[in-house]
């Protein structure tokens, strides 16, 4: 089965691109893009973009609040610091568009993934009796690399996911969401962090 890893975002820039790293002479930048849900809540998502994609014929430089559309993939990597190692998820842009404001039809946040479940699914219920399953999906890419992407399923999707096992191949559709939480450090202190995960609207075993 061919692995699938697609995301399409349409929203607003909430930070300016900041230099992050260079690979084979090509500079990459990071920025934050906000995409509203139907509820009106906004997910603020990290985007990695090549300098060549930021070139545009649009008059003036795109800035905070500018409309932006992105097509790309989700990428993951482990970040190590003094507080240990944690998984970082980012949108890796393949195409970037800066539409005219009057042409924007509304925010969009669509993810499609096909890959393998790589650890046992964790099923639980909230104090309000909402059913949730945590699914860690591995999606292969070129040169033998893989991205490890945390997914969360609700309700009947959660019950379906609870029946899946490591090694199963699944197709997931949904959106990428941001979630604030507090992390307890080894010294007992807590700090605010942001988690990124794919909220499943559908999940299918292949």
The whole domain housing 180 covers 111-205
Q: What is the CATH number of the domain that holds 41?
A: 2.40.50.140
Are residues 105 and 132 located together in one domain of the fold?
A: no
User: Structurally, how many domains does the chain consist of?
Assistant: 2
Average pLDDT value for residue range 181-205 = 84
More confident residue, 199 or 180: 199
For residue 166, name the pLDDT band (cuts at 50, 70, 90). Answer: very high
Which of 80, 109, 138 delimits the end of a domain? 109
Please write the tens of the pLDDT for every residue from 6-34.
999 999 999 999 999 998 899 999 999 99
Please write the tens of the pLDDT for every residue from 110-132.
999 999 999 999 999 988 889 99
Structure tokens belonging to residue 113: 């993934």
Are residues 99 and 127 located together in one domain of the fold?
A: no
Are residues 102 and 115 located together in one domain of the fold?
A: no
Which of 109, 144, 172 delimits the end of a domain? 109
State the maximum Cα–Cα separation within the chain, in Å, rounded to a whole number: 53
The answer to whether 165 and 134 have CB atoms below 8 angstroms apart is no
Are residues 143 and 196 located together in one domain of the fold?
A: yes
Which of 109, 136, 162 delimits the end of a domain? 109
**Interatomic CA distance for residues 140 and 124, integer angstroms:** 28
Q: Which of 27-41, 68-82, 93-107 has the lowest mean pLDDT?
A: 93-107
In this model, does residue 57 exceed pLDDT 60? no
**Interatomic CA distance for residues 143 and 182, integer angstroms:** 36
Provide, rounded to the nearest whole percent, the portion of the chain with pLDDT above 70: 90
Are residues 177 and 122 located together in one domain of the fold?
A: yes
Are residues 59 and 91 located together in one domain of the fold?
A: yes
Are residues 105 and 30 located together in one domain of the fold?
A: yes
Are residues 104 and 135 located together in one domain of the fold?
A: no
Are residues 74 and 160 located together in one domain of the fold?
A: no
Given phi > 0 = left and psi -120 to 50 = alpha, else beta, which region is 65?
Answer: left
In this model, does residue 67 exceed pLDDT 60? yes
Are residues 76 and 8 located together in one domain of the fold?
A: yes
At 203 the pLDDT is 96
Are residues 65 and 10 located together in one domain of the fold?
A: yes
Scan for tokens 């669509």, then name that residue: 110
Are residues 77 and 147 located together in one domain of the fold?
A: no
Q: Which of 110-124, 168-182, 185-199 has the lowest mean pLDDT?
A: 185-199
At 41 the pLDDT is 87
CB-based contacts of 55, cutoff 8 Å, min separation 6? none
């Amino acid at each position: 089965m061919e692995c699938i890893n697609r995301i399409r975002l349409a929203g607003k820039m909430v930070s300016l691109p900041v230099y992050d790293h260079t690979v084979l002479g090509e500079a990459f930048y990071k920025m934050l893009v906000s995409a509203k849900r139907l509820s009106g809540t906004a997910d603020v998502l990290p985007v990695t973009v090549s300098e060549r994609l930021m070139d545009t014929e649009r008059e003036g430089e795109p800035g905070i609040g500018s409309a932006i559309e992105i097509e790309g993939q989700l990428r993951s990597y482990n970040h190590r610091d003094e507080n240990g190692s944690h998984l970082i998820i980012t949108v890796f842009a393949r195409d970037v568009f800066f539409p005219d404001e009057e042409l924007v039809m509304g925010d969009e946040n669509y993810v499609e993934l096909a890959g393998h479940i790589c650890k046992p699914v964790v099923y639980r219920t909230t104090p309000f009796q909402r059913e949730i399953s945590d699914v860690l999906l591995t999606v292969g890419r070129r040169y033998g690399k893989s991205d490890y992407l945390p997914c969360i399923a609700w309700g009947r999707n959660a019950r379906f996911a609870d029946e899946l096992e490591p090694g199963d191949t699944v197709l997931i559709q949904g959106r990428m969401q941001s979630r604030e939480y507090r992390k307890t450090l080894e010294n007992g202190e807590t700090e605010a962090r942001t988690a990124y995960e794919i909220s499943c609207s559908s999940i299918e075993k292949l």
